Amino acid sequence: MTASAAGALAQQGPRAPLPPAREGRSGGTGSTSYQMEVTVERPVTGKPYQGKVLAAIQPHCDDIAIFAGGTVLKLIDEGYTGYLITLSDDSMAGAGSSYGEIVWKNEKDTLEVAKRLGCQDALFLNYPNHNFDAWPTVEIRARLIFLFRLLRVDTVLTYDPSALYEENPDHYVAAKAVESACWMAGSQWDYPEHFRAGLKPHAVTRKYYFARGPQLVNRVVDISKYMDQKVWANLANVTQGPAGNRGAALRERLAREGKRLALLGDDNDTANRQYTKYFALSRDRARGQAYGVEFAEYFHYIGPDDSLEEEYIQKYSQPL
With respect to Zn ion, which residue has the nearer C-beta, 59 or 247?
A: 59
Segment interacting with Zn ion (CB under 5 A) among 8-16, 57-65, 141-149, 227-235? 57-65
Q: State in angstroms the smallest separation of the CB of 306 from Zn ion.
A: 33
Q: State in angstroms the smallest separation of the CB of 171 from Zn ion.
A: 6
**63 makes contact with Zn ion (CB under 5 A):** yes
Q: State in angstroms the smallest separation of the CB of 88 from Zn ion.
A: 8
The interface with Zn ion within residues 3-32 (CB under 5 A) comprises: none
User: Is residue 23 a contact partner of residue 124, using CB atoms and an 8 Å limit?
Assistant: no
Segment interacting with Zn ion (CB under 5 A) among 56-64, 116-124, 143-151, 303-311? 56-64
**113 makes contact with Zn ion (CB under 5 A):** no
With respect to Zn ion, which residue has the nearer C-beta, 60 or 74?
A: 60
**60 makes contact with Zn ion (CB under 5 A):** yes
CA-based radius of gyration for the chain: 23
What count of Cα atoms within 13 Å lies in the side-chain half-sphere of residue 72?
34
**194 makes contact with Zn ion (CB under 5 A):** no
By CB under 5 A, the count of residues binding Zn ion is: 3
With respect to Zn ion, which residue has the nearer C-beta, 63 or 179?
A: 63
Segment interacting with Zn ion (CB under 5 A) among 58-66, 112-120, 255-263, 274-282? 58-66
With respect to Zn ion, which residue has the nearer C-beta, 24 or 94?
A: 94
What would the 3-class secondary structure string for 2-66 be? CHHHHHHHHHCCCCCCCCCCECCCCCCCECCCCCCCCEEECCCCCCCCCCCEEEEEECCCCHHHH
With respect to Zn ion, which residue has the nearer C-beta, 41 or 62?
A: 62
* Residues 186, 148: Cα–Cα separation, whole Å: 9
The interface with Zn ion within residues 142-181 (CB under 5 A) comprises: none
Q: State in angstroms the smallest separation of the CB of 212 from Zn ion.
A: 8
Q: State in angstroms the smallest separation of the CB of 149 from Zn ion.
A: 26
Q: State in angstroms the smallest separation of the CB of 58 from Zn ion.
A: 7
Q: State in angstroms the smallest separation of the CB of 160 from Zn ion.
A: 13
Residues that bind Zn ion (CB under 5 A): 59-60, 63
